Structure 1
Amino acid sequence: MEEKNRNMTDEHLSRQLRKSKSGKLGGKLLSLVGGVVAIAGIILGGNIVLVVIGGVILGLGQMVQGKSKGNANQQAFETIAPDIVSAVFENVQMNPTPHLLNAKDTNIPLPSHTYCSGSGYIRGTYQGLTTELCTIRLTEVNEFQREETGLWEKNEQEVYTGQWVLCELNREFPTWLTIWPRERLDKLFSAKTIKTGSEVFDKRFNLSSDDEAAALRILTPSQMERILALADSSFGKFAVNINHDGRMYLAVHSGRGFFDIGKGRETPELLRQRFTRELQWFTDMIDAFRDV
């Protein structure tokens, strides 16, 4: 009976994924038409009517694409996520309120943004530790004036999408510490960072804290080895933050959310396998720190 129900669930989700592809294609075509109309208006001496109509059609096309993908993501979240999460966590709550995870509570470096929003919250207990996961999106909003119309418009750009996890380690630490990847400019200008003594680790990560000696006592050589191993299997650039109160934050800048269908090309079974791998990566990282 369980296998039969799963087949029915996969069949239903497959139909939703096909609808998503059709919707995305229709949205792209609308966007293309809108762009052509707007450009024609500009070429024809700044024809405001054509520019406005083109802009409306372009916006409609983008809305259709977003809605279609959003529906498929919601379907995947509702049909696949509960079973995958329940296999790892106890006392699972879908969309719990109030939320425990707040990106502003961390010292994790993030790009400049105007808004920060979270979605897809799931809470559970991982081996006795309260854990919450969600998707964090950062949006930058800029105002600009169109030369052809003289009108002021707002441009919203999503500058960050990532999978975040909060785990309460149920212990206190003598300091906070944050680990995040070293970028090219960091290496070029020798950005200030705490040196761990591991040449391999220091080449790949920055380490910051308000107490260098205490941070190095927390981050042991065995932890660094596990972090480096997990870095090789990561699905995006990641950062780790541990607070005084034992709250551990994990952030992976993957460009997608938890249980996100991506481009919608994977079958339900392949989605299930990917979602399981991604969740396993996070729990492996928690395991690397739970006994420090």
Structure 2
Amino acid sequence: MSLAIMCSGGDAPGMNPAIKRFVDYVYEKGEIPYFVYNGLEGLIDGQIERATHKDVAGIVHRGGAIIRSSRSKRFYEYKYRKQAYENLVKSDVTGLVVLGGDGSFRAMDLMSREFDLNFVGIPTTIDNDIYGTDICLGVDTALNVIRDALDKIRDTASTFSRAFIVEVMGRDCGYLAIVSAITSGAEICIVPEVDFNKSVVEEHLKREIANGRNYILSIVAEGTKKTNEIAQWLENSVGMESRITVLGHIQRGGSPTVYDRMLAFEFTIRAVDHLLANTSSNKVVVIKNGQYGMCEISEVVDNRYTINPELLGMLNKLD
């Protein structure tokens, strides 16, 4: 049996450990591993090549993905999805592992409804917005990148008596912002999931400033689009000089943490095992309450991820 692995959508730390484990494990099982280069675009263009141990030597510690990734507008057209499927057939690929997020899984779900596609998805996005799994590959590394940046920003904020507004990624999900705010001791956290009461917080902050507080750390999720608004409010209403820091794509890079490397290995092993044992898969590997399992692709794409209410409740305890 020939199995292929592909990255789709935004990159995330942990892709390379997953790619290495895929190649090594498929060979251990006596099968043939293939790479699909350049994501959905590469699938359409037939960039499918047999993988070797040499290809994956020394890549576990590297961020990004050696087989690269892409987003594809062409994939929305049936003729290109048909072309992509035919390329898999030409290469005798009978199973596909897809490292990606919500958009990637929707693309695979559509393709699997039209053609005899046998695939397993591995939730790979720092946004941590995939239904059915508690954590996605790349999230832990992104959180540690943010944590390091916030620790350094707090140093200068306290030295210069300023308010710093730090924008973090996450698309429409506030998971990164919430966990980062809690673990960094931020005073403010703005996320799409919770309304922010300016008047209550303003009163609280002014009282603390009167009692000696000389800096403020505010974490803002990019999905709220409120970074500039919060900066102006802190400066004009709360009365503290403010600076904005947008962390941007550094959150998607860097050497994967130990946790993300182990998660990549476990996800990949289960994806390959499922493909080898099933002629019709179309599943997503997930982890819930510390236990690994499989979700139907339809269940994943038809439902919306929601943050644990207990985590949201902790926002009220920021101080």
TM-score (norm 1): 0.23
Which of structures 1 and 2 has the larger relative contact order (alpha carbons within 8 angstroms, sep 6+)? 2
- The structure in which a higher percent of residues are strand is 1
TM-score (normalizing by structure 2): 0.22
